[in-house]
Amino acid sequence: MIQFTDITGLTGMALACAVVLSSLLGRVARGVAIAPALMLGGAFLLMLVPVAGLPLAAYVRGMIGDLSVTSVVLLAYVAARRCGGPAGPANDESRNALAWGLVLLTACLLYPLALGASALDPYRWGYGDPGFMTGLLTLAVVGHLARIPFVAVAISLAVLAWTVGWTESTNLWDYLIAPMLSIVAASRVLAAMVSGLRQRMT
């Protein structure tokens, strides 16, 4: 019988694949008029089609694991926007870049240390270290006060999901950050830097 955490894991992965696929499809078939919602919905359903006993999304899930809650929230926002949903808070490029920079910095510290670069293993904190929780609370409050809602809301939703056991992982880090989110963060930071350089040069 399928577990609740398999449903959340597969749904998140199908959503991620649907956003990527529909984006690619949108670029390939520019002349063809297909409603974005239809394209997204079709790609989402396609990822749930079983092949050799497993949904397509399960193959991607096997390779890269479950997405963090922050990733799923962002993907859901992107999907909603494509389908004509409301925009989020007013765009502030510098604050957005700061948020992505925070994700990238966290990834650059977490992954090497968790993979054995030193005796310190910050991943251990994610099993319920009170100091880590306090740090996250502080960061969420600072994010709110600094008017970077992405930071405050993403951290809060990640803690909420960890509390209710939304995915297989019992480690809070897995709800906060994922390698794919880190790659997106790196590309956003790079794009912001290139944009900044161009502005200076003109």
CA gap 116, 151 in Å, rounded: 28
Q: Does 86 bind another protein (CB under 8 A)?
A: no
Among the listed ranges 23-31, 133-141, 183-191, 194-202, the one in contact with another protein (CB under 8 A) is: 133-141
From the list 30, 26, 28, the residue with the least C-alpha distance to 39 is 26
CA gap 20, 43 in Å, rounded: 9
Q: Does 83 bind another protein (CB under 8 A)?
A: no
Q: Does 49 bind another protein (CB under 8 A)?
A: no
DSSP state, 117? S
Task: List Cβ neighbours of 99 (8 Å cut-off, separation of 6 or more).
Answer: 143, 148, 150, 151
Q: Does 171 bind another protein (CB under 8 A)?
A: yes
Residue 27 beta carbon to another protein: minimum distance, rounded to whole angstroms? 27
Residue 113 beta carbon to another protein: minimum distance, rounded to whole angstroms? 9
Token pair 């880590």 is found at 132
CA gap 157, 76 in Å, rounded: 13
Residue nearer to another protein on the CB measure, 63 or 87: 63
Residue nearer to another protein on the CB measure, 40 or 178: 178
Q: Does 95 bind another protein (CB under 8 A)?
A: no
Are the beta carbons of 19 and 184 closer than 8 angstroms?
A: no
**Beta bridge mates, 55:** 50
Residues in the site for another protein, rule: CB under 8 A?
A: 1-3, 6, 9-10, 53-55, 58-59, 61-66, 110-112, 114-119, 121, 123-124, 126-130, 133, 136-137, 140-141, 144, 149, 152-153, 156-157, 159-160, 162-163, 167-171, 173-174, 177, 179
